[in-house]
Amino acid sequence: MVKRYFDELQIYYTFVQYDERNFSMSININVNWQNLIYVQCHYKFRLHESDLAFLITRHDKQYDLNLGIRYLLLLTLVLTSNLGYTKNTTNYDISDYERTVLTFALRKDFKLVSVKATSFYNLMLFR
């Protein structure tokens, strides 16, 4: 009974195992002491060793592009907008997709631990 459990566990472990390669690049531009513009690019390649559902070796390629602006309203209040695009291609047609997401966020920090730790705050205070 114990051997059967470990055999099933090994089959499950083999099912979820895959190889992944990543590449990321980010560019941040300080426009002034209040504004930060950023561009982020990501690429992922995943090779699944086996897929028991369709009996094929599956490979995925995922491309991400994010463009955003951060605006410092107060020392502890930041407004962020982000436009993100994702494209996933695979030899598995059901998993192909594209999406575009636009987000806005307002972030409030209630306790500023170290002003010197963040260069964004340094630009504001010491300029």
- What is the predicted pLDDT for the residue at 70? 93
pLDDT value of position 14? 47
Q: Residue written as tokens 């951060």?
A: 70
What is the pLDDT at residue 53?
A: 65
pLDDT, position 83: 97
Tokens of 34: 């209040």
pLDDT along the chain (127 residues), means of 10: 48 58 90 91 84 72 95 90 95 88 92 54 49
Q: Model's pTM, two decimal places?
A: 0.67
The predicted pLDDT at position 5 comes to: 47
User: Are 48 and 58 contacting, i.e. CB atoms less than 8 angstroms apart?
Assistant: yes
As given in the structure block, the two tokens for residue 57 are 């070796």
**Is 24:40 a contact under the CB 8 Å cutoff?**
yes
Question: Among all chains, which residue has been given the structure tokens 């089959």?
Answer: 11
